[in-house]
Structure formats: C-alpha cells, structure tokens
Structure 1
Amino acid sequence: MASPFRPALELMTQYAAYHRDRRNIATHFVGIPLIVFAIGVLLARLQFSIGGIALNGAWALCAVSALWYLTRGEFTLGLATVAVNALLMALATPLAEGSVAAWLAWGLGSFIVGWVIQFVGHYYEGRKPAFVDDMVGLLVGPMFVVGEWLFALGWGRELLAEIERRVGPTHLRDLAHPAT
C-alpha cells in the first residue's frame, strides 16, 4: 500500500485517474459532501473531554484530518478543504443532539444517499471508486472536490495542467462502449 503521506499532486493524480468522466465528477460534488456531513452527524454524538475542553468525534476527526490536508504541499487547497469540512461538521453537529431516531435518520440517510450518488457517478465512469484500490482515497475525495471547485474558479492552473498531463483531460464516456 502506498503511503498516505504523499504530496497533493500525487494524491490528486491517482484520484483523478478514477474520475475523468465529467458526470462522475459532478456526482462527487453532491455525494462526497453528503458523506462527510453524514460522518459528522454520526460522530458528533460521541462526546468526550480533553483537558476540560468538551469535544465530539466529528470535531476530533476534523482536526486530525486538517493536519493531514494542510501538510500535503498545497496549502491553499488544504486550507480550503479544511474550511469546507469544518462547515459540514458545523452543520452536522446540532443534528446529533436530537432523538436517536432523528440522529440515525440524518446520519445513515445522508450516508446512504451520498454513496448511491457516488455509485451512479462511477457507473458513468465505468470504473470502481478509487478507495477500493487505496483507502487513502477516502481522504482524497473531499480534497478532489474542493480542488475541482478551485480549478473552476481559476486557482491552481499549474496543478490542474500537471494532473491532466498525467491522466488526461476530463470527458464524457460513451456508455454504449466499454471503458478503456
């Protein structure tokens, strides 16, 4: 298994190789945030205290993943990913305070819907999700979505050009023909 501590360029390139169909990328703009949100809802119910500071599992995961994102060599991309994940945790946390039924409905419902959307995207792609071959893809997914959003806004042209040089441009796969 490859190291999870590779630079953002390597991580994004590997992930992009599984995500070249524009319809698949579009589904990831919905599916991945739903999954991150769902994980936040589910983990926020886990309450604990460290040094007198009240925390929950969602914010603990957000903090640990923030360190990872900020140390992949693309600080702006890492910071933007941390900000998006933190926003999702902030939205998720209050839902853990409701009844068990509401908490599970929000958490499991968002998780399942998010993954269904992901698998629809991978149908268009004609490839399995990246995490099947490398579990670090579960961390790269949010960074990839934020990166795609930043690329669309004009940030990271050199990073995008290098990713596309390595794995090719995005396209629309002809569904009548098998993936190559």
Structure 2
Amino acid sequence: MTKLEKLLSQYAAYHLDRKNILTHFIGIPLIVFAIICLTAKAGFVVAGFPVTLALLIIVVSVIYYLSLDVIFGVVMAAIFAIAYPYALIITEMSMMHWFTFSIATFVIGWVFQFIGHFYEKKKPAFMDDIVGLAVGPLFVLAELVFLIGLRKSLEERMLAEAKRLRSEMDQKSIKVVNAD
C-alpha cells in the first residue's frame, strides 16, 4: 500500500457516509480558502517579489502533495494557483472586512464539517491524527476524481482499507463501552 493509499484510507475511515463527504466538498474548500486569506496578509518582499505566509504554506503543501502523488499534486497546485489571487484581492479590503470575511468563511466551513460528522457519527479525523488537516483537501480532490469516474482502482483499494479500519475503530469503541 502506498503512502497516499494509507493516508486516504485512514481519512476515509472517518468519512464513509455520502452526506458527510458532500458536506466536505463545501467545508474543506471554505476552510482552506479562509486560511489562505488569513495568511496572505502577512509577508515580506524578496528581490521585489512579495512573499506571503499563504504563499509559503501553499508551496509546502504542494511539495507534500507532489511527494504523495504527482497527478494530485499538480491538480492541487492548479487549484491553489487559482485561489491565491482571489485571496490577495480579499487582503485589499479594509482590515475589518478582510478579517470578518476570512473568519466567517472559516467558521462556515467548520459548520459544514461538523454537520457532516453528525451524519457520520464519528469525530473528525484530525482529532486522532493532526495529519488529517493536510489530508482533508487531498481527500476532497480524490473524492471528486472518483466521482467523475477516474482512478477507480485507487478508490477501491482506499475504500476496502477504510472499511477495515472503520471496523477496527468500531470494535475498539464497543470494547470501551462494555468496559464501563
């Protein structure tokens, strides 16, 4: 099993309900965009080129995603390349409007996340493994790719492992409840 398959499977184990996945199609992009907006305000200039904290986070994220899967990494780079200029436009707002927009977007994104986990009846993956915060956007991209009919063998392997992991999680929960 590749590192990509392992990470997606671990994340998917918390995301097997279709309603939960659908809420993540809205929540995760909102959260990611809000983080880009919030961090695009902080920066410095190198050789006349503005370097923001958001740009640094994007570069590190894309390198991480490329290390897991070239195709997904390139697509994530393209998504960030589209989102980043919009975030820079948001930073041109007054401080109050920029901050209000960014925080509201962040909160709305998390509301969608928690609604999805209500359907799932499982806590978010990052509560057990902080890496889930980085894997979430990649998971949404993978789910979109699967939805349009691509990379089906990856989807099958990921789902099989996710269901196995979910079964283990459920068994641990039953043991904890019975021990009380």
**TM-score, normalised relative to structure 1:** 0.86
Identity of aligned residues (%): 41
For residue 9 of structure 1, what is the amino acid of its counterpart?
E
TM-superposed deviation, 1:81:
2.1
Between structure 1 and structure 2, the one with the greater Rg is 2
- Spell out, residue by residue over 1:115-159, the C-alpha distance to the aligned partner (whole angstroms, 9 max, x if none): 011000000000000001111111100000000111112221111
Pairing of 1:85-124 with structure 2 (within 5 A): 85-124=80-119
TM-superposed deviation, 1:51:
4.1
Which SS does the other structure have where 1:155 is aligned? Answer: coil
Q: What runs of 5+ residues in structure 2 fail to find an aligned partner?
A: 165-172, 175-180
RMSD between aligned alpha carbons? 1.8
Q: What runs of 5+ residues in structure 1 fail to find an aligned partner?
A: 1-5, 170-178
Name the counterpart of 2:70.
75
Aligned equivalent of 2:33, options 37, 49, 56: 37
Which SS does the other structure have where 1:128 is aligned? Answer: coil
Quick check: 1:149 aligned with 2:149?
Answer: no
More helix by share: 2
Name the counterpart of 2:46.
50
- Spell out, residue by residue over 1:38-74, the C-alpha distance to the aligned partner (whole angstroms, 9 max, x if none): 00110011021234421111111111111000001x2
Aligned equivalent of 2:13, options 9, 12, 17: 17
CA–CA distance in structure 1, aligned partners of residues 85 and 141 of structure 2: 17
Which SS does the other structure have where 2:51 is aligned? Answer: strand
Answer whether contact 1:36 1:88 (CA < 8 A) is retained. Answer: no
TM-superposed deviation, 1:168:
3.3
TM-superposed deviation, 1:97:
1.5
Which SS does the other structure have where 2:45 is aligned? Answer: strand
Name the counterpart of 1:173.
none
CA–CA distance in structure 1, aligned partners of residues 82 and 30 of structure 2: 12
Quick check: 1:27 aligned with 2:23?
Answer: yes
Answer whether contact 1:37 1:91 (CA < 8 A) is retained. Answer: no
CA–CA distance in structure 2, aligned partners of residues 27 and 128 of structure 1: 14
Aligned equivalent of 2:3, options 3, 7, 11: 7
Which SS does the other structure have where 2:98 is aligned? Answer: helix
Name the counterpart of 2:132.
137
For residue 153 of structure 1, what is the amino acid of its counterpart?
I
CA–CA distance in structure 1, aligned partners of residues 80 and 115 of structure 2: 23
CA–CA distance in structure 2, aligned partners of residues 87 and 16 of structure 1: 26
Answer whether contact 1:58 1:93 (CA < 8 A) is retained. Answer: no
For residue 53 of structure 2, what is the amino acid of its counterpart?
G
